[in-house]
Amino acid sequence: MRGIEITWIIRNDSVSSVFFDADIAKFFQCRLESGRKEGEKNACVLKRLRYMVDDSLGTRDVESLPGCALGPDWTSSVSFNCNSKGRSLNIIRSVEVHEVTDRKDKVILLLSNGREIQCDLVIWATGVFPTTSIWKDSCEELRTSAADGGILVDDHMCTSLPDVYACGDVCTVSWSFPSTIWKQMRLWTQARQMGEYCARSMVADGRLDVDFCFELFTHTTSFFGYKVVFLGDFKGERQPEGWYTIDRIIEENQFVRCIMYDHRVVGAVLIGETDLEETVENLILNKTDLEKIEQDFLDPQIDIEDYFD
């Protein structure tokens, strides 16, 4: 978005703290100030289904429609460019929005620190949490998670009620042997994977092993024009004490961080066109011991793909 004044309000002390540590967030600082480079948001081929509201519906009918959001790529065909080349970005950290007042000519936000922000447009990112009270209130036998309220499901996506299944954002997995390199995040990709696995499990009456896609966490997205890939335990949240990181940083181009435990890669964050996705994925799944080359395997002068072929 160019030629406009942007105020970004975040409740944490760094941007995208769900995915990035503070030092990784600093890598994006230049893009935060200058904006993404010229070009489409998604220059590559989109492989996900895209949805849009039917043009045949009138505006009044569209506004009254219930239902889910339009998908992760709904902005891919929308241009926010203005004629002016410059822009202004102000980040307000560690605050929340307490009140929103909508007036004819502007919107006023009251922040938790008492400050008021006047703006023309508000883009609100609220996150995701499971809404299960509609079922729990009418069925006490339905078990839910004490942590987030999601409907608990077993290895086959079955709830505590016989022949009743749940999948996607509404559920919380409670598997017999959870993987240390996979975790549940309420993402579009996981919801789709759970839906497909749940359907197969229902047809097979629960006689299935946990799908392989739940062995390793994988997620691809973009931040400020950079391609970003998350693999495995990318923040070291599920590892014993003693895990550490190995980084490769090419300023304004790439940031690679591998989460290591016992000389093995257990997770990674790949920012930019690194071409390391498949190699790092194999290193994680194969539990390859990198002790002898640990300090050099991310060296950009070394082609680790050839090394492990």
- Distance (Å, rounded) from C-alpha 173 to C-alpha 159? 10
Q: What is the pLDDT of residue 112?
A: 95
Domains of the chain by residue range: 1-42+66-125, 132-213, 218-307
Q: What is the pLDDT of residue 151?
A: 96
Q: What is the pLDDT of residue 52?
A: 61
Token duo for residue 47: 């492989």
Contact 217, 193 (CB under 8 A): no
What long-range pairs does 11-14 form, CB within 8 A, spacing at least 24?
11/94, 11/95, 11/96, 12/93, 12/94, 13/93, 13/94, 14/93
Q: Hey, how many other C-beta atoms are within 10 angstroms of the C-beta on 152?
A: 17
Q: What is the pLDDT of residue 265?
A: 97
Q: Give the pLDDT of the chain (309 residues) as one tens digit per residue.
A: 667 788 999 998 888 888 888 888 888 887 777 666 655 454 555 566 665 666 665 555 555 655 555 566 666 666 655 544 556 788 899 999 999 999 888 999 999 999 999 999 898 887 788 989 888 888 989 999 999 999 999 999 999 999 999 999 999 999 998 899 999 999 888 999 999 999 999 999 888 888 889 999 999 988 888 999 999 999 999 999 999 999 999 988 999 999 999 999 999 999 999 999 999 999 999 999 999 888 888 988 877 776 665
Q: What is the pLDDT of residue 58?
A: 57
**CATH 2.160.10.10 is the classification of domain 1-42+66-125:** no
**Half-sphere CA count of 56, side-chain side, radius 13 A:** 0
The DSSP letter of residue 102 is E
Topology adopted by domain 218-307: Enolase-like; domain 1 (3.30.390)
State pTM to two decimals: 0.83
